[in-house]
Structures are given as C-alpha cells and as structure tokens.
Amino acid sequence: MSTSFDTIIQSDKPVLIDFFATWCGPCKTLAPILKQVKDNLGERITILKIDVDKNQQLASKYQVRGVPTMILFQNGKQLWRQSGVMSKEEIVKTIVEKSN
C-alpha cells in the first residue's frame, strides 16, 4: 500500500486522506460529509480513506494518534491536518485555501 500511497500523494491535484476506524463514531459522522465535499469539489480533489487498523504502518508514519484525522497533500507535501469532525463548508474552504 505504501508505494501506491506515495504515488497518490505526489499528485498535482490535492489529495485529502481520511484516517478512520470502523469502530469510531465520529468517523461514521464524517463519512457522509466527505462525500458531500467530493460532490462539491468533484475532479479538483482526490479523497482517500485509510483504515488505521488495517494500515497501522501508514498511521504511524503520519503520527495519527486519534481518528478521524484528515491530512491534505499536494505534490507530496503535507499542507494541512486536522483531527475530529468538521463541516463540509469548513473542509471545502480549507482545501481551496491551502491548495493551489
């Protein structure tokens, strides 16, 4: 997973990674919000969900201590990160402001 993950985050297009867990209540709240974000931004963003229980190495590499944690990448650089649930409007605004 790590090689393809590294390739994905190198994209010119912003990539929002959602580190989640199946047992996490707030993660379940965030899931439909991220779908709305994708519907709003369309092809301008890639959203990738990473289950921390199945991908512990990646979670450790990016120091994910709590879920949900969102990390925004573009051209391989981490532009922003946030733990917890945010509104669709806040997430869209952040993505637009932080990415080119």
Catalytic residue status for 34? no
Choose the catalytic residue: 8, 24, 47, 85: 24
Catalytic residue status for 67? no
| Separation of alpha carbons 64 and 47, rounded Å | 17
Counting residues of the chain whose pLDDT is more than 70, the rounded percentage is: 97
| Separation of alpha carbons 71 and 17, rounded Å | 5
Choose the catalytic residue: 27, 30, 58, 71: 27
Does 43 have pLDDT greater than 90? yes
What is the pLDDT averaged over residues 18-27? Answer: 98
Does 92 have pLDDT greater than 80? yes
Give the pLDDT confidence score for residue 29 in this predicted structure: 98
Counting residues of the chain whose pLDDT is more than 90, the rounded percentage is: 96
Residue ranges of domains in the chain: 2-98
CATH superfamily of 2-98: Glutaredoxin (3.40.30.10)
- Residue 78 has which token pair? 């981490």
> Which of 74, 19, 78 lies closest to 48 in space, CA to CA?
19
